[in-house]
């Protein structure tokens, strides 16, 4: 059995560490402290050689969070690390990781979304922890958390319906949600973790252009949005890879060996018009700048195995009833918040993929509290591509069985070119196994529930 979660109650570390992005020569390690401190990280390789980060200081402006960046690491190498804060050293057998390879013959990673442990916890992160340990023959190489890492509007911190308004309140939800399950931080301390927000980091169905954030307890909607994004910067984005560009501060890309990942900002860049709120015409999730970057990336890695990470699914429910949006309990069937509700941008993306014959493409998605596997079929030209959806890590799934009857239909002409092959209706994490043989990749998608049950979602793909 794994050791109990370590307590640093007498020292400066309040939460963490989180092992963030890891490349073949760099690692980012995050902590939150109780008071302003200066800290650094030591990484030790198998030969005993130590690589030390530069010193980093935590401060009140960033809610006493900080990230140490360790450079000069070697590819595909096991490291252990310790944190030196205020001259005291903190170490654990969980503080260990492996850098990414330059090329890979195979690896396994996990993904998922929707973490609300104060309301519905279920053992999924204990299973994730076991999959990160050295004894697992398919030890996870990294974890993608692709939205709703907190529920700022439904967290359970001060009651289920309480909403955060100030910067301190958003930060409080991070602290209490992420410390609710001791296995959560144990996973994040040893498994490289990549994050991107969805709506509940701010408020349900939020996106920047269509302002759905009301004033609350004397805090304006615009200020609440800024507070939420500032907290996201401190707790999530700070340990991600560098952004694609200054004007796309939350989108990023990375590689694991020669397998490529593009993480979309599916919230902040959305474009629409007032008169298009109820009708999904000329609405775009990506925005023009992000579309340009994604299009270029797809062409650049046309023949590589690649994953596009989107917090909301490309395909979910086809039946769109916008007039249901304001009605409690029925708003999920309006579906103007996901890709099917942004039909113009979605059509442009799918048309590009097919016309340019982009191959070896898989979308990873979360958000919808049901896991499923979909195939997008070719139409004339183009190649088959896929969507793996996993949700939730820890949240309510009572609506999953109802949603299932609507899944995998598509709006206005795409239904006949889409096949749904499997569903899973309980909290879980997604597991993707990749093996390369010669010039081909074999890809398997499974989900693992809170009891450790492994449920295959697809027959092995050969790409």
Phi, psi of 248 (to 5 degrees): -130, 70
Instruction: Return the pLDDT at 279.
Output: 52
332-343: string of b/e by CB count within 10 Å (b at 16+)? Answer: bbbbbbbbbbbb
The Cα 62–Cα 30 span in angstroms is 12
Q: At 65, which CATH number?
A: 2.60.40.380
Mean pLDDT across the chain: 88
Residues 84 and 152 grouped into a single domain: no
Residues 261 and 161 grouped into a single domain: yes
Reduced to 3 states (helix: H, G, I; strand: E, B; else coil), residue 309 is strand
Higher pLDDT, 272 or 159: 159
Residues 368 and 310 grouped into a single domain: yes
Residues 108 and 98 grouped into a single domain: no
Instruction: Return the pLDDT at 225.
Output: 94
Please say whether the dihedral angle defined by the alpha carbons of residues 118, 316, 312 and 200, taken in this order, is positive or negative: negative
Instruction: Return the pLDDT at 411.
Output: 39
pTM: 0.92
Structural domain including 149 reads 103-462
The Cα 267–Cα 206 span in angstroms is 7
Closest CA to 341 of 390, 402, 276: 276
Residues 76 and 117 grouped into a single domain: no
Instruction: Return the pLDDT at 339.
Output: 84
Q: How confident is the model at residue 323 (pLDDT cuts 50, 70, 90)?
A: very low
Determine the average pLDDT of the residues in 443-452.
96
Please state, in angstroms and as integers, the Cα–Cα distance from residue 206 to each residue in 229, 293, 330, 336, 404, following that order: 12, 23, 17, 11, 24
Instruction: Return the pLDDT at 402.
Output: 66
pLDDT in tens, 39-62: 999 999 998 899 999 999 999 999
The Cα 3–Cα 94 span in angstroms is 9
The Cα 163–Cα 157 span in angstroms is 9
Q: How confident is the model at residue 219 (pLDDT cuts 50, 70, 90)?
A: very high
Q: Which residue among 102, 125, 157 closes a domain? A: 102
Residues 111 and 54 grouped into a single domain: no
Phi, psi of 222 (to 5 degrees): -65, -40
Task: Say which DSSP state 167 is in.
Answer: H
Strands 78-85 and 13-22: what pairing? unpaired
pLDDT in tens, 220-275: 999 999 999 999 999 999 999 999 999 999 999 999 999 999 999 999 998 876 55
DSSP string, 419-431: EEEEEE-SSEEEE
Element (H, E) at 176: helix 167-178
Q: At 261, which CATH number?
A: 3.60.21.70
Between the ranges 197-206, 276-285, 372-381, where is the mean pLDDT highest?
197-206
Residue 37 has pLDDT above 50, yes or no: yes
Structure tokens belonging to residue 236: 């999530």
Reduced to 3 states (helix: H, G, I; strand: E, B; else coil), residue 190 is helix
Q: Which residue among 76, 102, 128 closes a domain? A: 102
Residues 235 and 213 grouped into a single domain: yes
Q: What angle do CA 244, 151, 21 make, to 5 degrees?
A: 35
Residues 31 and 111 grouped into a single domain: no
Domain count, the chain: 2
374-404: string of b/e by CB count within 10 Å (b at 16+)? Answer: bbbeeeeebbebbbbbbbbbbbebeebeebe
Residue 462 has pLDDT above 90, yes or no: yes
Residues 179 and 38 grouped into a single domain: no
Judge whether 449 and 427 are in contact, CB under 8 Å.
Answer: yes
Q: How confident is the model at residue 400 (pLDDT cuts 50, 70, 90)?
A: low
Please state, in angstroms and as integers, the Cα–Cα distance from residue 92 to each residue in 16, 22, 150, 178, following that order: 12, 19, 26, 19
Instruction: Return the pLDDT at 205.
Output: 84
Determine the average pLDDT of the residues in 348-356.
93
Residues 90 and 190 grouped into a single domain: no
Residue 322 has pLDDT above 60, yes or no: no
Q: What residues does 341 pair with on adjacent strands?
A: none
Residues 81 and 183 grouped into a single domain: no
Judge whether 138 and 188 are in contact, CB under 8 Å.
Answer: no
Q: Which residue among 86, 102, 118 closes a domain? A: 102
Please say whether the dihedral angle defined by the alpha carbons of residues 287, 292, 293 and 299, taken in this order, is positive or negative: positive
Q: Is the peptide bond before 31 cis (omega within 30 degrees of 0)?
A: no
The Cα 158–Cα 433 span in angstroms is 40
Residues 191 and 273 grouped into a single domain: yes
């Amino acid at each position: 059995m794994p050791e109990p979660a370590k307590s640093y109650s007498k020292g400066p570390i309040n939460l963490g560490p989180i092992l963030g992005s890891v490349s073949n020569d760099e690692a980012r390690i995050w902590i939150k402290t109780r008071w302003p401190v200066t800290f650094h990280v030591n990484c030790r390789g198998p030969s005993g050689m130590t690589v030390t980060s530069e010193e980093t200081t935590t401060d009140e402006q960033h809610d006493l969070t900080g990230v140490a960046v360790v450079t000069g690491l070697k590819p595909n190498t096991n490291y252990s690390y310790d944190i030196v804060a205020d001259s005291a050293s903190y170490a654990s057998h969980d503080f260990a990781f492996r850098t990414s390879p330059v090329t890979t013959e195979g690896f396994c990673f996990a993904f998922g979304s929707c973490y609300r442990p104060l309301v519905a916890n279920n053992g999924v992160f204990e299973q994730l922890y076991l999959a990160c340990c050295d004894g697992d023959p398919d030890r996870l190489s990294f974890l993608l958390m692709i939205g709703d890492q907190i529920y700022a509007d439904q967290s359970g911190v001060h009651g289920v319906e309480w909403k955060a308004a100030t910067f301190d309140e958003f930060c409080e939800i991070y602290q209490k949600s992420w410390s609710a399950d001791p296995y959560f931080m144990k996973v994040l301390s040893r498994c490289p973790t990549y994050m991107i927000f969805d709506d509940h980091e701010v408020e349900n169905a939020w996106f920047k252009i269509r302002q759905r954030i009301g004033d609350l307890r004397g805090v304006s909607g615009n200020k609440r949005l800024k507070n939420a994004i500032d907290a996201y910067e401190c707790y999530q984005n700070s340990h991600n890879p560098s952004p694609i560009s200054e004007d796309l501060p939350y989108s990023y890309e990375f590689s694991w060996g020669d397998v490529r990942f593009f993480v979309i900002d599916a919230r902040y860049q959305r474009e629409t018009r007032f008169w298009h709120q109820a009708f999904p015409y000329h609405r775009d999730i990506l925005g023009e700048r992000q579309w340009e970057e994604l299009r270029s990336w797809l062409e650049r890695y046309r023949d590589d195995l690649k994953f596009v990470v989107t917090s909301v699914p490309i395909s979910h429910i086809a039946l769109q009833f916008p007039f249901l949006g304001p009605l409690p309990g029925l708003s999920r069937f309006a579906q103007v918040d996901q890709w099917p509700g942004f039909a113009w941008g979605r059509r442009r993306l799918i048309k590009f993929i097919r016309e340019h014959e982009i191959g070896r493409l898989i979308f990873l998605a979360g958000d919808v509290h049901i896991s499923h596997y979909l195939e997008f079929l070719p139409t004339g030209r183009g190649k088959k591509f896929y969507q793996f959806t996993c949700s939730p890590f820890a949240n309510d799934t009572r609506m999953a069985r109802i949603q299932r009857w609507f899944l995998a239909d598509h709006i206005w002409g795409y239904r006949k070119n889409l096949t749904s092959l499997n569903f899973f209706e309980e909290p879980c994490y997604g597991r993707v196994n990749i093996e390369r043989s010669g010039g081909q990749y074999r890809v398997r998608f499974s989900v693992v529930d809170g009891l450790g049950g492994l449920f295959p979602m697809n027959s092995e793909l050969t790409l």
